[in-house]
Amino acid sequence: MDILRFATAGSVDDGKSTLIGRLLFDSKAIFEDQLEAVERTSRDRGTEYTDLSLLTDGLRAEREQGITIDVAYRYFATPKRKFIIADTPGHIQYTRNMVTGASTADLAIILIDARKGVLEQSRRHAFLTTLLRVPHLVLAVNKMDLVDYAEERFEEIREEFTAFASKLNAADLTFIPISALHGDNVVSRSENMPWYHGTSLLHHLENVHIASDRNLVDVRFPVQYVIRPHNATSQELHDYRGYAGQVAGGVLKPGDEVTHLPSGLNTRIAAIDTFDGPVEEAFPPMSVTLRLEDDIDISRGDLICRPNNQPSVAQELDAMVCWMADSVKLQPRSKLIIKHTTRTARALVRDLQYRLDVNTLHRDEAATSLGLNEIGRVSLRITQPLFVDDYSRNRLTGGFILIDEATNGTVGAGMIVDAR
């Protein structure tokens, strides 16, 4: 059994909570006490139906105001897979939360109301999903019951969205007509839409192939922590020196020739250690400890790769940055802390090339700053070299966060598009 992480995009009006509630309920991930609590609260509020959004809106302020204010994580499993849902709110601080939820997602579900068709917000959801390089996208055309389960309506929406998505260079795209309320095509195939020959949503989630989405080609091992037992009683342990980290790309094997950055020195992998014994190969997302044949001065923030396949060693970066703070804006000359893989440095904003309108994709080159939930292309100068790949090639070596030195808050997320 493996794990699929997916994000859901859409508002309550699109039936998102109903859909999640149905997935959880039909997979028995909702327990009786949770359902009773939700039913009780729904009754107290005078709602006639059981409001399943109460399951995900866990904070007092959310229940009081009937809104979702943050990413909520929900869990369910079928015999085939474990699922982690990043449920992001539809309105408040939408971009910031969707970017957060999408950053780790293997798949995103965008909900469309069959009566309303492709709206501005559907395009925004598709753009953000593509920007974050979520490998699989599902367009769930919901409320098919309200358009008489009409194939023509579904096809219209499919064509309109496909035309838009081709401009985005969108990922693997699947369209599924559903009714979350009635359960059509959610867990099992619907008899109401005999013209639909695809699978149900849950079947798709259970079977979509994700193992090859990780980068297994470019070896990238950011050194996270140096393990030195300093054990005086055991000679072997006394001299032990292991480089611990989580594989960010490629497949490493004992005996492989590797290069250490920033030194550029070459050596070989002597062993790949784990608590459970040495392993013959390591690949994402394994956390392992490398031992190397030669003594090289290696510390946290360094990177191990292959001699003939190295990342860019860069102090000048261009990145798409999503700004996440309302207390301060991003503008030229801003100084920030940047955290990229296991390396933390300082960054100077050299230029804001343009601000992107996430609804129209219009580039505003006259913009002078990025505010909360705005996205733009930014040029940064870093105080020390980072070992980077384009985000489109590797999400882990291509993504970074920005931290405000004054408040210590996480104020931005960046996706590298060019490095020098």
Q: Please, which of residues 397-416 interact with another protein by CB under 8 A?
A: 399-401, 403, 408-410, 413
Sequence-separated (6 or more) residues with CB below 8 Å from residue 3: 81, 82, 83, 84
Q: Among residues 192 and 344, whose Cβ is nearest to another protein? A: 344
- Token couple for 32: 């009786």
Q: What span, in angstroms and rounded, lies between the C-alpha atoms of 135 and 129?
A: 9
Q: Among residues 20 and 157, whose Cβ is nearest to another protein? A: 20
Task: Specify the stretch interacting with another protein by CB under 8 A; choose among 9-17, 29-37, 252-260, 261-269.
Answer: 29-37
Task: Specify the stretch interacting with another protein by CB under 8 A; choose among 30-38, 164-172, 198-206, 376-384.
Answer: 30-38
Query: Applying CB under 8 A, which of residues 33, 48, 191, 297 lies at the interface with another protein?
Result: 33
Q: Among residues 191 and 275, whose Cβ is nearest to another protein? A: 275
Query: Applying CB under 8 A, which of residues 20, 342, 355, 388 lies at the interface with another protein?
Result: 342
Nearest 5°: phi and psi at 258? -135, 160
Verify binding: residue 354, another protein, rule CB under 8 A.
Answer: no
Binding string, residues 225-264; x marks residues near another protein by CB under 8 A:
x-xxxxx-----x--x-x-xxx----x-------------
Q: Give, as ranges, the residues between 39 and 58 that touch another protein (CB under 8 A).
A: 41, 55-58
Query: Applying CB under 8 A, which of residues 3, 119, 163, 217 lies at the interface with another protein?
Result: 3
Query: Applying CB under 8 A, which of residues 287, 309, 359, 392 lies at the interface with another protein?
Result: 287
Verify binding: residue 386, another protein, rule CB under 8 A.
Answer: no
Q: Min. distance of Cβ 311 from another protein in angstroms?
A: 16
Residue 298 to residues 202, 240, 274, 334, 360: CA-CA distances in angstroms?
46, 14, 19, 31, 47
Q: Min. distance of Cβ 96 from another protein in angstroms?
A: 6
- Token couple for 398: 């291509």
Task: Specify the stretch interacting with another protein by CB under 8 A; choose among 13-21, 145-153, 160-168, 274-282.
Answer: 274-282
Verify binding: residue 280, another protein, rule CB under 8 A.
Answer: no
- Number of residues this chain uses to bind another protein (CB under 8 A): 77
Q: Min. distance of Cβ 48 from another protein in angstroms?
A: 20
Query: Applying CB under 8 A, which of residues 182, 306, 329, 339 lies at the interface with another protein?
Result: 339
Verify binding: residue 26, another protein, rule CB under 8 A.
Answer: no
Q: Min. distance of Cβ 103 from another protein in angstroms?
A: 4
Binding string, residues 63-102; x marks residues near another protein by CB under 8 A:
x-----xxxxxxx-x---xx-x-----------xx-xx--
Residue with tokens 């949770």: 34
CA 66 distance to own-chain centroid: 26
> 32's torsion region: left (phi>0), alpha (psi -120 to 50) or beta?
alpha
